[in-house]
Amino acid sequence: MDAAYADLKERLGEIHDLQKTRALLAWDQQVLMPPGGSGVRAEQIATLDRIAHTTFSSDEIGRLLDRLESFEADRPYDSDEASLVRVTRLDWEKARRVPAELRAEMSRASSLALPVWAAARQTSNFALFLPLLRENLELRRRYIDCFDTYDEPYDVLLDDYERGTTTAEVRAVFERLKVDQVPLVAGATREGERPGRDRPFPLEAQRQFELQVLERFGFERASWRLDPTVHPFASSLGTDDIRLTTRYHEQNLDGLFASMHECGHGLYEHGVSRSLERTPLARGTSLGLHESQSRLWENLVGRSLSFWRFFFPRLRDTFPEALGDVELEDWYASVNWVQPSPIRVEADEATYNLHVILRFELEQELLAGSVEPAELSEIWNARMLDYLGIEPANDRLGVLQDMHWAGGHIGYFSTYALGNVISAQIWERIASELPDLDAQFEQGEFGELRDWLTERLYRHGRKFTPKEMLERIVGGPIDPDPYLRYLGTKLATLT
């Protein structure tokens, strides 16, 4: 093998080790760490970020990339080798623009803001969080200033999560969703009592039931974990070290859907080709593609009738007190219940995107300065009324509900709605190639679906841009029509 390539791969492997160590510290911070550890943990994470960033953005990496130009050109575009050089060059050019001190300041500010946000959310005290929000916004403005080639400042933030996707492209998709989804929600909103809610669901039984579901999806005890946390997430420390987190509610089974969601993220990371391990390609293409998989497993699989034909009898046996008087059809209606609610992560499929669009618009206005952080809570509540017809009772149920802005992840939210849109595009393709999926789900079989997704998407890791990846799977660009078709058809059978 080419000596420069071997050298590059070894250096990237070491940087990858630092980043995964950082991921472990972040996982620990949210799952195990006592609150007192947060100050020192912020320093530890900032140190790892700084070392990784300095090592990666060095002249030496640049010289190796220069030496590898013909090596890359001689190899197929989709080969591991050419892809590693191509993607690394793009990453490197971007990283070079950001001073290591700014990078470390951004990660330190986020780590320090997270516990303050958690306390502010707990007590519904937006004023407590406000100075940290201001600081995170200011740091993002300084970050944007490091770049000069963009149409809109927000493009820079979006590109970190969805490479090559512009604000204008996202806006066009969202405008279409807004036009069609607001009336769809109004027409499909359910009244009356939702079956199987506010009943006792003992926590340990929930956990056991969830593991049964996840194991059929592909969770393996030798390489996965599932732990409780405040805000569910999935983290991969290695292709065979997948950490899922979830939260449980004693009166309903919303936690199961959070777990299926995170499992979709885990399956993607677990499905990446082992040949890409310890490289920057050993993860999903983008957040939008990633979210397409969490939403696919949570909604297109986990809220389908065929899924529940298999699992509902088992669920009723597990929770006889809660579900003894509930029929399959009622349960199916319950898990697909459309009702505007204040919390994004608990939103149904029809209202979910509207929560995201609200955040996407506010982020741009905050960055542009047309919305003052101090007015945010008030504006949030007014928009909720516009889009969803409800007003949160307090900031805990409103502007303070998500951790993203505390974590500095501005630009991230839009990928959730892009994920919904992409999940339906991929699903239409799957349905045309695997016509008897429903029959398999009714038997509790999900292997053929998982294998199809691994072959077409997961194994490629981060070799391609989101646009290239989508083009390879569905043969075209992002398109909201399949999602609107899916939603329209499903809601028509339910109301």
Q: Which residues lie near Zn ion (CB under 5 A)?
A: 294
How distant, in Å, are the alpha carbons of 7, 34, 56, 337 from that of 59? 14, 40, 9, 55
Q: Least distance from C-beta 415 to Zn ion, angstroms?
A: 9
Q: How far is the CB of 424 from Zn ion (least distance, A)?
A: 16
Q: Please identify, using beta-carbon distances, which residue of 27 and 143 lies nearer to Zn ion.
A: 27
Residue with the shortest CB distance to Zn ion = 294
CB of 224 to Zn ion, least distance (A): 16
Nearest distance in Å: CB 481, Zn ion = 23
Q: How far apart are CA 59 and CA 50, in angstroms?
A: 16
361 has catalytic annotation: no
Nearer to Zn ion by Cβ, of 95 and 357: the residue is: 357
C-beta separation of 480 from 176 below 8 A = yes
Residue tagged active-site, from 262, 291, 349, 361 = 262
Nearer to Zn ion, 271 or 373 (CB): 271
For residues 354 and 182, the answer to whether their CB atoms sit within 8 Å is yes
CB of 293 to Zn ion, least distance (A): 9
Specify the residue, 266 or 392, whose C-beta has the smaller distance to Zn ion. 266
Rounded to a whole number of angstroms, the minimum distance from the CB of residue 296 to Zn ion is 11
Q: What positions carry a catalytic annotation? A: 262
